[in-house]
Amino acid sequence: MAVKEIDARGLQCPGPIVEVFKAINALKPGDEIRIQVTDRGFLEDVKTWCRKTGNVLVSLEDGQPIKAVIRKK
């Protein structure tokens, strides 16, 4: 399993979710993305995006920064 780290701190919407989208396309099923984000809109966006795309939101930590782990389906 490959893990792709993304530092999206300081990026404003839509930056972080576009980064996730680009990274996911380059990964294989089961691979993970670990991303750090400061834009608070990401909290809701990543949940909805995973729900709609079927990718798995392994964890989502609200903090400074927000940390999420996403597994490609």
Partner 1 sequence: MQKYDLIVIGGVAAGTKAAAKTRREKPDWKIAIITRDDDVSYAGCGLPYFIGDIIQNRGQLVVRTPETLRLVHSIDVFTRHSVLSIDREKHTVSVQNTNSNEKLEFGYRKLLLATGASAMRPPIPGIDSERIHTIRSVTDADAILAGMGSKSGRAVVVGGGFIGIEVAENLKHRGWEVTVIEMLPQILPPFDLEIALMMQKHLEKNGVRIVTGACVQSFCDKDGGVEVATSNGAFQADIVILSIGIKPNSGLGCDSGLELGCRGTIRVDACGRTSDPDIFAAGDCASTFSVTSGNEAWSPMGSTANKQARAAALTLTGTESEFPGVLGTMIVKAFGFSAARTGVNEREACESKMNAVSVTVPSDDRAHYYPGSEKIAIKLTADAETGELLGCQTYGMGAVDKPLDAIAVAITMGATVHDVAHVDFAYAPPFSTAINPVNLACYVMQNKLSGKLESIGPVEANCMIHSPDWDGLLLDPREIPEFMIGTVPGAVNIPIHEFPTRLAEVAAFKDKTVIVVCNYGKRAFEAYVRLKHHGFNRVKVLEGGTKFWPYELE
Q: Where does this chain bind partner 1 (CB under 8 A)?
A: 9-10, 12-14, 17-18, 20-21, 38-41, 45, 48-49, 52-53, 64
User: 38 or 69, CB closer to partner 1?
Assistant: 38
Nearer to partner 1, 10 or 30 (CB): 10
Write the burial class of residue 17 (CB in 10 Å: 0-12 exposed, 13-18 middle, 19+ buried).
buried
Strand, helix or coil at 70? Answer: strand
For the bound state, the minimum distance from the C-beta of residue 18 to partner 1, rounded and expressed in Å, comes to: 5
Q: How far is CA 68 from the centre of its chain?
A: 6
